[in-house]
């Protein structure tokens, strides 16, 4: 019998474990950032490896793939290199693999594990086990049975790592998977394939099948750690840990495991009752932010304007302590109503002569504004109406496109441009040998390119050129001069793959240089951490690090600079979080749509769009209309649309 190992100590976090003040049926450790959570999970794995080595026995690990796991494996590599953590006694079994897929394909989970862990540690190749997605279909059943036998022969899995899908799947066990399922060939739901499409050149290339451990296999592991990062996972995390166990949410079946723990960041924990409505789980400190959150959520749940809420509404919702702390409903309602009212402004750069109730200060006027756009279309998608307002109201607006966005251009769209270029040269009689060779090279490469192959540097540069032209067209549409448009091409992005490098010193240097040149009074940046391929997060980290270093270096203009965060195409700020809401008329909504249409390479079929099949202009309009509807429901003026921003203290 292998020795027991207590995971509770290294996986503390905020509110570690279910207790009398939570509604959670599974212990949940909440960490401020994904990196902190990943370090805790890696520390637990490292401790188990060392314990098993000291006992003279192997350590059997069940491993998972996907972006959630990258930081965990990075920390394990650091422990291996810097602290001598050995994997010589490790035996690993991976959860799943696409089918069919060759092990040489970049998108295969075999290659993922080689890149992120196996090639860089001292694990014996014979101890590595992954499902084989390259087998003929008639051999898969026997392969799955042999996989189960290998797990049993190894003594069973000591510690299983898991992620969680937006529909609650663990491994590739989709909703409806039976509790007694074992390793098998499974069909992937369209939503899962769409969510994973960011790994492929287009959604159609995502395999429709996968080989996956079953729920019974997973639940037989001695210990389980499930990781979840970001706001996109908040809803399903709550369902899994607070809802009734059900095969319709496979992760909820982990409630039946005797030693399972969820490790999440604050964004993924946001819908847990103890964070979403902490007044239901115990005593809270009633700050202005907490009061606003409680009252806004109460009004939306009741379907009442804020000013219509009564003492009875508060009491029935478990908010009697708020009444005792702040007075009656009338007083509290007015406080929240005025805060919501004052967040709405048609002057995102401030209004000359206006009082202090506006979100942005009146002076200095006009302002220098710098909008950071992670991809070449995030500016117009996320804040197109505000972008136009700032320019039209006389501010000096600069836009910085942080990355080339080249991987989001399909081969078909590139070929369309190449056909035009070749036709133009023929019509103009102005062809040259060098251009002709380049066109031939691209056509030849694309003709032999396999479904899982990466683009060549030349193709990436041409695709980046297409997106740069579309961004310039948008800026011309808004009216921005050419010298106020900046293409940063941050190095972290230029890997040729969906997987990006971490933020580096050169990314920060380029950003600091632009900030010093513009010396902005306002900075707008993407605060959307739900971006499925992580570019937005790295871009925000770069901006924050650049501002931090400039502040520490004593840059005088920093003290007069405010940072406003918008969200991207995937989510919006909750009403209670919004510090500035910029209204748009129906005509302005249409103008924004036309600006988004400048990005023709991103229309119709968009690569890497996550699990949302809508086009970006549809997402933007529905999101902005939803925010306007929420404000109207709360008793504020009804606008056609509202763009939302949160002020960030850097």
- The answer to whether residues 370 and 398 touch, using CB atoms and an 8 Å cutoff, is yes
Q: Measured between alpha carbons, how far is 207 from 226 in angstroms, rounded to an integer?
A: 25
Q: Does residue 4 surpass a pLDDT of 80?
A: no
Average pLDDT, the chain: 90
- The answer to whether residues 227 and 263 touch, using CB atoms and an 8 Å cutoff, is yes
Reported confidence tier of residue 397, pLDDT bands at 50, 70, 90: very high
pLDDT in tens, 301-320: 999 999 999 999 999 999 99
Q: Does residue 342 surpass a pLDDT of 60?
A: yes
> Which residues on adjacent β-strands are paired with residue 644?
581
pLDDT in tens, 550-586: 999 999 899 999 999 998 766 789 999 999 999 999 9
In 344-456, alpha helices (H)? 378-392, 411-428, 433-448
Measured from the Cβ of residue 499, the count of other Cβ atoms closer than 10 Å reads: 16
**What's the pTM?**
0.81
482 belongs to the catalytic site: no
Q: Does residue 486 surpass a pLDDT of 60?
A: yes
Is 28-263 a CATH 3.40.50.1360 domain? yes
Q: Does residue 419 surpass a pLDDT of 50?
A: yes
Backbone dihedral angles phi then psi of residue 491, each to the nearest 5 degrees: -65, -30
Q: What is the CATH number of domain 368-409+463-648?
A: 3.40.50.10320
Mean pLDDT of 175-190: 94
- The answer to whether residues 224 and 218 touch, using CB atoms and an 8 Å cutoff, is yes
Given 174, 189, 360, 643, which residue is catalytic? 174
Q: Measured between alpha carbons, how far is 569 from 612 in angstroms, rounded to an integer?
A: 10
Q: Measured between alpha carbons, how far is 131 from 357 in angstroms, rounded to an integer?
A: 60
pLDDT at site 1:
30
Highest mean pLDDT among 118-127, 192-201, 318-327, 453-462: 118-127
- The answer to whether residues 458 and 442 touch, using CB atoms and an 8 Å cutoff, is yes
Q: Where are the beta strands (DSSP E) in 368-514?
A: 368-373, 396-401, 485-487
- The answer to whether residues 169 and 175 touch, using CB atoms and an 8 Å cutoff, is yes
């Amino acid at each position: 019998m292998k020795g027991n190992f207590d995971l509770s100590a290294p996986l503390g976090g905020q509110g570690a474990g279910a207790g009398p003040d939570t509604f959670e049926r599974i212990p949940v450790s909440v960490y401020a950032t994904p990196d902190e959570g990943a370090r805790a999970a890696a520390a637990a794995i490292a401790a188990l490896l060392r314990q098993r080595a000291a006992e003279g026995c192997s350590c059997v690990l069940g491993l998972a793939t996907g972006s959630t796991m990258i930081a965990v494996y990075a920390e394990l590599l650091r422990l291996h290199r810097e602290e001598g953590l050995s994997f010589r006694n490790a035996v690993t079994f991976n959860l799943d693999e696409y089918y069919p897929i060759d092990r040489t394909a970049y998108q295969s989970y075999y290659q993922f594990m080689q890149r992120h862990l196996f090639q860089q540690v001292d694990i014996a190749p014979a101890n590595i086990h992954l499902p084989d997605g390259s087998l003929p279909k008639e051999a898969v059943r026997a392969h799955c049975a042999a996989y189960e036998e290998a797990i049993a022969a190894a003594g069973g899995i000591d510690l299983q790592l898991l992620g969680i899908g937006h529909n609650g799947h663990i491994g590739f066990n989709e909703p409806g998977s039976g509790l007694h399922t074992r390793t098998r060939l499974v069909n992937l739901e369209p939503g899962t394939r769409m969510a994973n499409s960011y790994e492929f050149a287009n959604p159609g290339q995502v395999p429709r099948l996968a080989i996956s451990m079953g729920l019974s296999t997973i639940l037989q592991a001695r210990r389980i750690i499930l990781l979840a990062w970001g706001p996109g996972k908040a809803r399903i995390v709550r369902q899994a840990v607070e809802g009734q166990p059900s095969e319709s949410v496979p992760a909820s079946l982990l409630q039946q495991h005797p030693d399972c723990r969820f490790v999440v960041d604050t964004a993924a924990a946001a819908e847990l009752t103890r964070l979403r409505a902490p007044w239901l789980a115990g005593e809270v400190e009633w700050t202005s932010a907490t009061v606003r959150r409680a009252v806004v959520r109460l009004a939306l749940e009741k379907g009442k304007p804020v000013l219509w809420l009564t003492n009875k509404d508060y009491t029935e919702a478990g908010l009697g302590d708020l009444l005792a702390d702040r007075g009656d409903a009338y007083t509290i309602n007015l406080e929240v109503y005025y805060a919501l009212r004052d967040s709405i402004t048609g002057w995102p750069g401030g209004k000359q002569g206006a009082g202090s109730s506006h979100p942005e200060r009146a002076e200095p006027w006009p302002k220098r504004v710098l909008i950071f756009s992670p991809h070449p279309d995030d500016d117009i998608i996320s804040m197109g109406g505000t972008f136009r307002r700032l320019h039209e109201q006389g501010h000096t607006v600069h836009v910085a496109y942080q990355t080339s966005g080249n991987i989001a251009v399909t081969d078909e769209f590139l070929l369309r441009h190449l056909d035009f270029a070749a036709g133009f040269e023929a019509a103009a009689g102005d062809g040259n040998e060098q251009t002709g060779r380049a066109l031939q090279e691209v056509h030849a490469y694309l003709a032999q390119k396999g479904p899982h192959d990466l683009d060549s540097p030349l193709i990436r540069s041409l695709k980046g050129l297409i997106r740069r032209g579309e961004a310039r067209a948008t800026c011309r549409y808004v009216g921005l001069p050419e010298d106020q448009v900046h293409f940063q091409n941050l190095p972290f992005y230029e890997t040729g793959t969906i997987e990006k490098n971490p933020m580096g010193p050169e990314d920060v240097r380029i950003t600091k240089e632009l900030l010093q040149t513009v010396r902005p009074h306002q900075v707008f940046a993407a605060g959307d951490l739900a971006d499925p391929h992580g570019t937005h997060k790295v871009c925000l980290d770069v901006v924050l690090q650049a501002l931090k270093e400039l502040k520490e270096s004593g840059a005088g203009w920093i003290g007069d600079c405010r940072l406003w965060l918008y969200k991207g195409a995937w989510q919006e700020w909750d009403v209670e979080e919004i510090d500035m809401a910029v209204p748009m008329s129906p005509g302005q909504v249409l103008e924004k749509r036309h600006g988004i249409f400048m990005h023709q390479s991103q229309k119709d079929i968009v690569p890497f769009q996550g699990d949302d099949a809508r086009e970006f202009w549809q997402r933007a309009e529905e999101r902005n209309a939803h925010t306007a509807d929420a404000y109207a429901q709360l008793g504020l003026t009804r606008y056609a649309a509202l763009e939302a921003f949160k002020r960030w203290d850097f």
